[in-house]
Amino acid sequence: MAPTARSAPATARNHAVVIGAGVAGLTTARALGDTYERVTVIDRDAFPGVPAPRRGVPQSRQLHVLLARGALALDDLFPGFLDELVAAGATFADTQGDAHWYLDGHRVYRAPSGVISYGASRPLIEHRLRARVAALANVEIVESTEVLGPVTTPDRGRVTGVRVRPRAADTGETTLDADLVVDASGRGSRALTWLTELGRPRPERTRVRADVVYVTRRFRREPHHLDGRSGVALVPFPGLPRGGAIVSEEGGRFAVVLFGLLGEEPPTDHEGMSAYAESLPGPDVAEVLRTAEPLDEPVRMRYPASVRHHYEKLDRPLDGLLVTGDALCTFNPTYGQGMTAAAQQAILLRGLLAEGTHDLPRRFFRAASKVVATPWLLAAGGDLRFPEAEGRRGPVDGLLDRYLTRYRVAASVDPVLGRTFLAVAHMVEPPTRLLSPGHALRVFRGVRRAAGADRPRTPTAGR
Kindly state the DSSP code that residue 240 receives in the 8-state scheme: B
**More confident position, 209 or 13:** 209
Can you tell me the distance from the alpha carbon of 35 to that of 166, in angstroms, rounded to the nearest whole number? 27
CATH of the domain at 213: 3.30.9
- pLDDT on residue 7: 32
Among 252, 273, 303, the domain boundary falls at 303
365 and 219, same structural domain?
no
Of 374, 328, 324, 330, nearest to 350 by C-alpha is: 324
Can you tell me the distance from the alpha carbon of 257 to that of 215, in angstroms, rounded to the nearest whole number? 5
215 and 200, same structural domain?
no
Q: What average pLDDT score do residues 106-121 get?
A: 97
200 and 210, same structural domain?
no
State residue 275 phi and psi, 5-degree precision. -65, -40
Do 118 and 91 meet the contact criterion of CB atoms below 8 Å apart? yes
- pLDDT on residue 295: 98
360 and 315, same structural domain?
yes
314 and 297, same structural domain?
no
Q: What average pLDDT score do residues 351-378 get?
A: 96
Give SS3 for 148. strand
299 and 222, same structural domain?
yes
- pLDDT on residue 172: 85
Looking at the whole model, is its pTM more than 0.85? yes
pLDDT(5) > 90:
no
pLDDT(11) > 50:
no
Structure confidence by residue, pLDDT tens digits, 123-169: 999 999 999 999 999 999 999 999 999 999 999 999 999 999 998 87
- pLDDT on residue 453: 65
159 and 53, same structural domain?
yes
Q: What average pLDDT score do residues 15-23 get?
A: 98
Do 230 and 95 meet the contact criterion of CB atoms below 8 Å apart? no
Q: What average pLDDT score do residues 72-84 get?
A: 98
Do 171 and 7 meet the contact criterion of CB atoms below 8 Å apart? yes
pLDDT more than 70, % of the chain: 95
161 and 36, same structural domain?
yes
- pLDDT on residue 418: 98
Question: What is the Cβ-side half-sphere exposure of residue 157, based on CA atoms within 13 angstroms?
Answer: 4
Asked, for residue 251, whether it belongs to a domain, the answer is yes
**Cα distances (angstroms) measured from residue 101 to each of 80, 222, 246, 278, 433:** 29, 20, 11, 16, 19
pLDDT(170) > 80:
no
Structure confidence by residue, pLDDT tens digits, 341-358: 999 999 999 999 999 999
Asked, for residue 164, whether it belongs to a domain, the answer is yes
Among 303, 323, 351, the domain boundary falls at 303
CATH of the domain at 20: 3.50.50.60
Kindly write down the DSSP assignment for every residue of 243-304, as one continuous string: EEEEEEETTTEEEEEEEE-TT----SSHHHHHHHHHTSSSSHHHHHHHHSPB-S--EEEEEE
- pLDDT on residue 396: 83
Do 123 and 60 meet the contact criterion of CB atoms below 8 Å apart? yes
How many residues are recorded in the chain?
463
Kindly state the DSSP code that residue 327 receives in the 8-state scheme: G
Q: Is 113 exposed, middle or buried (0-12, 13-18, 19+ CB in 10 A)?
A: buried
**pLDDT tier at 13 (50, 70, 90 boundaries)?**
low
- pLDDT on residue 58: 87
Asked, for residue 388, whether it belongs to a domain, the answer is no
Do 107 and 422 meet the contact criterion of CB atoms below 8 Å apart? no
39 and 130, same structural domain?
yes
Q: What average pLDDT score do residues 254-277 get?
A: 97
**Cα distances (angstroms) measured from residue 418 to each of 114, 234, 327, 439, 455:** 12, 14, 33, 11, 16
Asked, for residue 86, whether it belongs to a domain, the answer is no
Kindly write down the DSSP assignment for every residue of 339-407, as one continuous string: HHHHHHHHHHHHHHHHT-STTHHHHHHHHHHHHHHHHHHHHHHHHTTSTTSBS---TTHHHHHHHHHHH
Tell me the one-letter amino acid at 188: G
Structural domain count, the chain:
3
Tell me the one-letter amino acid at 352: L
Q: What average pLDDT score do residues 390-408 get?
A: 92
Of 188, 203, 193, 202, nearest to 149 by C-alpha is: 193
Among 286, 303, 320, the domain boundary falls at 303
pLDDT more than 90, % of the chain: 91
pLDDT(1) > 90:
no
Range(s) of the domain holding residue 331: 15-63+126-204+306-379
pLDDT(8) > 80:
no
Asked, for residue 239, whether it belongs to a domain, the answer is yes
Q: What average pLDDT score do residues 55-69 get?
A: 93
Q: Which residue spans within 67-171 are E strands per DSSP?
A: 91-94, 99-103, 106-107, 116-119, 139-142, 145-152, 159-166
Can you tell me the distance from the alpha carbon of 61 to that of 212, in angstroms, rounded to the nearest whole number? 16
149 and 59, same structural domain?
yes
Q: What is the average pLDDT value for the chain, to the nearest integer?
A: 93
- pLDDT on residue 460: 38
Q: What average pLDDT score do residues 360-366 get?
A: 98
Q: What average pLDDT score do residues 243-261 get?
A: 97
Structure confidence by residue, pLDDT tens digits, 267-321: 999 999 999 999 999 999 999 999 999 999 999 999 999 999 999 999 999 999 9
Asked, for residue 212, whether it belongs to a domain, the answer is yes
Can you tell me the distance from the alpha carbon of 123 to that of 85, in angstroms, rounded to the nearest whole number? 12
Asked, for residue 7, whether it belongs to a domain, the answer is no
Can you tell me the distance from the alpha carbon of 172 to that of 15, in angstroms, rounded to the nearest whole number? 22
Can you tell me the distance from the alpha carbon of 262 to that of 268, in angstroms, rounded to the nearest whole number? 18
State residue 182 phi and psi, 5-degree precision. -120, 120
**pLDDT tier at 463 (50, 70, 90 boundaries)?**
very low
Q: What average pLDDT score do residues 96-118 get?
A: 97
99 and 51, same structural domain?
no
Can you tell me the distance from the alpha carbon of 322 to that of 362, in angstroms, rounded to the nearest whole number? 9
pLDDT(406) > 90:
yes
pLDDT(231) > 60:
yes
171 and 155, same structural domain?
yes
Q: Which residues of 363-395 are buried (b: 16+ CB within 10 A; e: fewer)?
A: bbbeebbebbebbbebbbbbbbbbeebebeeee
Asked, for residue 288, whether it belongs to a domain, the answer is yes
pLDDT(431) > 60:
yes
